[in-house]
Amino acid sequence: MASIQTTANGTPVLILREGSKENKGREAQRNNIMAAKLIAEIVKTSLGPRGMDKMLVDNLGDVTITNDGATILKEIDVQHPAAKMMVEVAKSVDNEVGDGTTSSVVFAGALLEKAEELINKDVHPSVIVDGYNAAAEQALKLLQKIAIEVDVSDKDMLMKIARTSMDSKLVSDDSPHLGAIVVDAARMVAEKKEGGTKVDLDNIKVEKKAGGSMGDTKLIKGIVLDKEVVHAGMPRRIENAKIALINAALEIEKTEMSAEIRISDPQQMQMFLEEENRMLKSMVDKIKSSGATVALCQKGIDDIAQHYLAKAGVLAVRRVKESDMTKMALATGARMVNNLDDLTAKDLGSAQLVEERKVETDKWVFIEGCKNPKSVTILIRGGSQRVVDEADRSLHDALMVMKDVLEKPAIVAGGGAPEAYIANELRQWSSSQEGRAQLAVQKFADALDSIPLNLAENAGMDPIDTMTELRAKQSKGQKWTGVDARNTQVADMYKQNVLEPAAIKQQIIKSATEVASMILRIDDVIAASKSRMPAGPPGGMGGMGGMPGMGGMGME
Ligand code: ADP
Ligand code: MG
């Protein structure tokens, strides 16, 4: 390959190490675009409420069933560098706004597909990139123009938004029930701060247990600990609990060095044990005198201490995770103490009920009915492990959507309506652009249409008829017209209550344009030789390992 260059007088200069691969110009672009398009191809059938799910099998044979773009791409093993960039888009959208991952990949793929058409017509990639960026900027302005401010205390509205996010998932049948949980949970942990609301999703603990049905999924105004009460003699249920959070061991500290005590007389032995007993009892006494009826300990609890706690009627749990202790403090209003000597009645938190319950085969401790909890738990139930796992992912998306809208209260309708609206406006606006950039803006608009188009295709609707009707209605100024995939018709998506945060659409446009531009700007791919090639096609950086039938996509 081109690793040897010659100077003016003909002396060869070795630039790249032997075995390196270089791929230049058109060829490099075409390869990159193809790889990126393939990634979009994989996820596009899962877009929208009628999208299909994917079954992913990892190399240990574990099966995941999901509809979530970010999860699909996380699980498949992608090797081609441009394909990897597409996976990154999904990840970045997931981190920023939590939903819209599939859309961003589909849109980025469409941008590249349309760009390829222009490249084939000899439009230079940098012209396309400029046109795309101008179009994206304009698209964001248009989005802002149609976005509707919402009142975050409007529970009904929030419910519609949460349901839209879940409507495209396995859990859609239960979206009325789950939607209400998501809305309540997000509102409970939302904090009014200067300059708006802040939602920290870390304060929503999600526990899942296969068994029962999705309808048994519950919001607990408090915390669920996947631990049992330490001692059989302790109460299993305490009402109006006073809770102590202890970050110290209820044990006799072992010495750091290995010490040895020689005992010559049984009497001494007895005294030694009694002293230990006395120390443990005094620890328990401190807890008791604070008025605590529940003790949650981050460290261990000695058997003898357990016995005394049981005698005192205290319900105790040991080795509680640090993260749970923090959440518990937020939920119950307790203050964590590191030293038992400091424990007073003021440090105790409260909950209406602390109870150990059987969840399938496990025993868990529920701390619930907290007043004004700043931390809550969602306990997901469902027919099987795979179902609760997918429900967990869908709830994550929906919770993120709640966070988005509570923090930035602006929404748009979904179902491809905003995309169709922006595409329409951009086509008109494109004439204001000069020369070939105009073509790029038009292609950008065509790429936006890929969202309603794929929603229609996945719903089994005729793509041409649908898009014609959609465009006609959009041109008449019906800006919320989109693809009502549930009822397979073109309809006003606002009236259909399909609502999404504007922040998600914004992020999709930004991230997809960014990655498409980045991929288009590459005209030279130089890959170091790999000393070891594990499974996968030979030839440096070729192919997408782990995906059958794509092995030859390299650059030989
Ligand atoms: P993403 O990972 O991009 O969120 P989804 O599979 O969740 O992908 O699909 C989201 C798309 O589905 C959005 O464009 C949204 O507006 C659309 N959508 C959701 N519910 C409906 C519905 N009932 N009818 C039509 N489109 C819908
Ligand atoms: Mg979604």
User: Is the CB of 167 within 6 Å of ligand 1?
Assistant: yes
Residue among 164, 163, 182, 165 at smallest CA distance from 380: 182
Angle formed by the axes of helices 450-458 and 463-475, nearest 10°: 130
Does residue 397 carry a catalytic annotation?
yes
Q: Are 474 and 420 in contact (CB under 8 A)?
A: yes
Angstrom distance (rounded) from CA 541 to CA 135: 33
Does residue 101 carry a catalytic annotation?
yes
CA of 539 to the centre of ligand 2 (A): 37
Residue among 166, 135, 158, 1 at smallest CA distance from 67: 166
Q: At a CB cut-off of 8 Å and minimum separation 6, what does 426 contact?
A: 135, 138, 139, 142, 441, 442, 444, 445, 448
User: Is the CB of 488 within 6 Å of ligand 1?
Assistant: no
Residue 319: both structure tokens together: 């080795």
Does residue 362 carry a catalytic annotation?
no
DSSP code string of 227-248:
---S-TTS-SEEEEEEEEEE-S
Task: Give the count of beta carbons closer than 10 Å to the beta carbon of residue 366.
Answer: 21
Angstrom distance (rounded) from CA 435 to CA 119: 15
Measured CA to CA in angstroms, residue 513 lies from 30, 95, 116, 439 at distances of 18, 17, 15, 16
Q: What global pTM score does this model have?
A: 0.81
CA of 204 to the centre of ligand 2 (A): 20
Q: Are 164 and 493 in contact (CB under 8 A)?
A: no
Angstrom distance (rounded) from CA 344 to CA 417: 59
Residue among 151, 204, 221, 552 at smallest CA distance from 392: 204
Residue 209: both structure tokens together: 């247990």
Which residue out of 66, 103, 143, 451 has the highest number of ligand 1 atoms within 8 Å of its CB and is therefore the one to mutate?
Answer: 103
Q: Are 388 and 208 in contact (CB under 8 A)?
A: yes
Q: Are 84 and 425 in contact (CB under 8 A)?
A: no
Angstrom distance (rounded) from CA 167 to CA 154: 20
Which residue out of 455, 466, 487, 511 has the highest number of ligand 1 atoms within 8 Å of its CB and is therefore the one to mutate?
Answer: 455
Q: Identity (one letter) of the amino acid at 109? A: G
CA of 415 to the centre of ligand 1 (A): 6
Spot the catalytic one: 397, 446, 449, 484: 397
Task: Return per-residue pLDDT of the chain as tens, 556 residues.
Answer: 445 666 677 776 666 666 667 667 778 888 888 888 888 988 899 898 887 878 878 777 788 888 777 788 777 777 788 888 888 888 889 888 988 999 999 999 999 999 999 999 989 999 999 999 999 999 999 999 999 999 888 899 999 999 999 887 777 788 889 999 999 999 999 988 887 889 988 889 999 999 888 899 999 988 999 999 999 999 999 999 999 999 999 988 777 777 777 778 888 888 888 888 999 999 999 999 999 999 999 999 999 999 999 999 999 999 999 999 998 998 899 999 999 999 999 999 999 999 999 988 899 999 998 887 888 999 999 889 988 998 998 899 999 999 999 999 999 999 999 999 999 999 999 988 888 889 999 999 999 999 999 999 999 999 999 999 999 999 998 999 999 999 999 999 999 999 999 999 999 999 999 999 999 988 777 777 665 555 444 444 444 444 433 433 433 3
Which residue lies with its CA nearest to atom 1 of ligand 1? Answer: 100
Helices (H), ranges, 45-174: 69-75, 81-96, 101-120, 125-146, 155-167
Helix (H) or strand (E) holding 316: strand 315-317
Which residue lies with its CA nearest to atom 23 of ligand 1? Answer: 486
Q: Which ligand is nearest to the CA of 456?
A: 1
User: Is the CB of 419 within 6 Å of ligand 1?
Assistant: no
Spot the catalytic one: 68, 174, 184, 446: 68
What does the longest C-alpha to C-alpha distance in the chain come to? 102
Does residue 68 carry a catalytic annotation?
yes
CA of 412 to the centre of ligand 1 (A): 12
CA of 168 to the centre of ligand 2 (A): 6
Which residue lies with its CA nearest to atom 16 of ligand 1? Answer: 414
